[in-house]
Amino acid sequence: MYLFKSVHQLNHFLKSFYSANQSIGFVPTMGALHQGHLSLMEASLAANDLSICSIFVNPTQFNESSDLEKYPRVPGLDIALLAEIGCDVLFMPPVTEIYPPGIQLASPIPPPSLINVMEGQFRPGHFEGVVQVVKRLLDITQPTRLYMGQKDYQQATIVQWMIENQKLPVELVVCPIEREKDGLAMSSRNVRLQAELRPIAATLYKTLEAVKIRLKADNIESLQHFAINQFRQAGLRPEYFEIINGYTLQPLSIIDTTDLVVACTAVWVGDVRLIDNMILQDPG
Ligand code: AMP
């Protein structure tokens, strides 16, 4: 596996792949890698001539500096995992390579209907930062395919918007959520969950499953009440639980059989914030 820290070195290396028209898969991450991240890399390795992973904890998408400071960083373990799985290139730039002092980066601003709901409502400025870093990383790597997780459903939808809005020549591949045995969605933040909080955290997935089963029989309002009550009874502190149109991210009030219906939620367990989602209805 090649490891590059500078844009210049990476670009120099990639030149021959571009000119030979080789396909490049790109997996952007913030490190502290787990099987969720590795599943994206596996998908990339299976479909492309060259696969690149980036590890960059992007300061512009953190609305709280304490969250940025607490974000887990384990570069040694990450390098070992990526080398073992067969990743071709790891790009691990310092902040000054992504945001060189004095450089003006033009990144598009997605519509408020996409960035001000759900995560955007509780993490102001978060998606502006995500769009900025993903655009910058795509400009640097110029991949054929970009791999992201359904775990961050709103993020994937916004990145798809950006690709279409900017007419970027890249295909977004959204990969399914990898979960622990108890259903908890894998996340770099899970390492901060104390053992006694794990069963409580698992209520998140169990509730999403129960909501999916009840979809046909219940209306949206009662499904929301049900989910919020389940969370509270288990000891989770919900921030939001929304049943949305999976394309527009707007809350649904009634469900049509042709709708892509997704439940998205964020809860606190102890001092750890968890997000999760489930596709409740996919008309295909
Ligand atoms: P992060 O390092 O948290 O920024 O995540 C990097 C990429 O991995 C994003 O596209 C996430 O959606 C994806 N990802 C994170 N957790 C999971 C998971 N449990 N299953 C699948 N993909 C995931």
Residue 59 has pLDDT above 90, yes or no: yes
E-strand ranges in 131-236 read 145-149, 171-175
pLDDT at 152: 98
pLDDT at 265: 98
Task: Please list the alpha-helical segments (H only) found in 166-219.
Answer: 198-201, 203-214
Residue 282 has pLDDT above 90, yes or no: yes
Question: In the sheet that 50-55 helps form, which strands lie side by side, from edge to edge?
Answer: 2-4, 89-91, 50-55, 24-29, 145-149, 171-175
* Cα Rg of the chain, angstroms: 19
What average pLDDT does this structure show over 280-284?
95
pLDDT digits (tens, 9 = 90+) for 90-133: 999 999 999 999 888 888 999 999 999 999 999 999 999 999 99
Q: What is the mean pLDDT of the chain?
A: 96
Q: Is 241 helix (H, G, I), strand (E, B) or coil?
A: strand
pLDDT at 104: 85
pLDDT at 103: 85
Is ligand 1 within 6 A of the CB of residue 60? Answer: no
| pLDDT > 90 fraction of the chain, expressed in percent and rounded | 94
Which atom of ligand 1 lies closest to the CA of 150? 12
Pair 104, 83: CB distance under 8 Å: no
Q: Are strands 237-245 and 171-175 parallel, antiparallel or unpaired?
A: unpaired
pLDDT digits (tens, 9 = 90+) for 17-36: 999 999 999 999 999 999 99
| Mutational pocket test of ligand 1: of 40, 157, 184, 275, the residue with most ligand atoms within 8 Å of the beta carbon | 40
Number of other CB atoms surrounding residue 268 within 10 Å = 13
What average pLDDT does this structure show over 42-47?
98
Is ligand 1 within 6 A of the CB of residue 188? Answer: yes
pLDDT digits (tens, 9 = 90+) for 166-221: 999 999 999 999 999 999 999 998 988 999 999 999 999 999 999 999 998 999 99
Q: Is 37 a catalytic residue?
A: yes
What average pLDDT does this structure show over 250-271?
96
Residue 175 CA, ligand 1 centroid: distance in Å: 9
Pair 188, 30: CB distance under 8 Å: yes
pLDDT at 90: 98
Provide the pLDDT confidence category of residue 53 given band limits of 50, 70 and 90.
very high
- Kindly state the helix (H) or strand (E) to which residue 221 belongs, with its residue range: helix 220-234
| pLDDT > 70 fraction of the chain, expressed in percent and rounded | 100
pLDDT at 177: 98
Which atom of ligand 1 lies closest to the CA of 148? 10
